[in-house]
Structure 1
């Protein structure tokens, strides 16, 4: 008599779904990191440009160069605003996937706990039936020795 878990297919399906959600979560983390790195690079570029401009202003700079640098900084700020929105979206997506992964972990653990409890009942039943057989054999041996 071998043990078979009645919800084994469901458990396998839930584990597969959990793995798919885990992969989606990892992808969302990678996308978030890429966008955040791009935002960081833009912020760094803006900071470097502002430092460069302030150094040039102290030594003298033409109005046209000032205007050119200011336009460039304005464009970088617009790009920064855009990437900040993307970072927020990516973070929200990543948090959503993290929540789904957490839910799937709980779901799988429920089925694993059911399987564990079911296996414990099975072993108890097996032990009990084995004990009954041994008791019956002992009674039969005793009866045979008496006769």
Structure 2
């Protein structure tokens, strides 16, 4: 007798959905890391520029250069603000996909647990059938000896 799980197709579909959710989640993590790295680079660039400007101020700097640096820093701050929004969006998206992955994982675990219980019942039934057959064979053997 061969064991056949009645929800095997559903389990297969749920496992595939879980794999897709994992792939999407991994992609969102990668995207988050890229956006966060870009933000880090912008912040580092701003810090380096401010340090450069303060060093130049010590040695003397023209008003035109100060204006130029302040304008450039202002543009960097706008880019940083935009990038921070992108990081927040990427983080939120990553958390959303993480939740979806957890849901898919739970669905698969539930079906695997059902399959495990169903298999245990199948094995118990199989053992009971085998024991009954052995009893029948023993009775027939005993009866044939007795006659």
Q: If the length of structure 2 is used for normalisation, what is the TM-score?
A: 0.99
Tell me how far apart the structure 1 counterparts of residues 31 and 93 of structure 2 sit (CA, whole Å).
10
C-alpha distance in structure 1 between counterparts of 2:143 and 2:2, whole Å: 33
Structure 1 unmatched runs, 5+: none
TM-score (norm 1): 0.99
Query: How far, CA to CA, are the matches of 2:91 and 2:11 in structure 1?
Result: 30
SS at match of 2:28: helix
Question: How far, CA to CA, are the matches of 1:105 and 1:80 in structure 2?
Answer: 37
Return the alpha-carbon distance in structure 2 between the equivalents of residues 76 and 23 of structure 1: 34
Cα displacement string for residues 87-120 of structure 1 (whole angstroms, at most 9, x for unaligned residues): 0000000000000000100000000000010011
- 1:16-67 Cα offsets, whole Å, 9 max, x none, are 0000000000000000000000000000000000000000000000000000
Match of 1:142 in 2: 142
Aligned to 1:113: 113
Instruction: Provide Cα deviations, 1:2-24, integer angstroms capped at 9, x if missing partner.
Output: 11000000000000000000000
* Alignment: residue pair count: 147
**1:68-87 counterparts in 2 under 5 A?**
68-87=68-87
Tell me which residue corresponds to 1:33.
33
**Separation (CA, whole Å) in 2 of partners of 1:14 and 1:75:** 48
* Alpha-carbon distance in 2 for matches of 1:94, 1:7: 31
Runs of 4 or more consecutive aligned structure 1 residues displaced over 3 Å after TM superposition = none
- State the 1:146 CA deviation: 1.0
Report deviation, 1:144. 1.0
- How far is the alpha carbon of 1:141 from its aligned partner? 0.8
Superposed CA RMSD: 0.4
How far, CA to CA, are the matches of 2:42 and 2:89 in structure 1?
Answer: 18
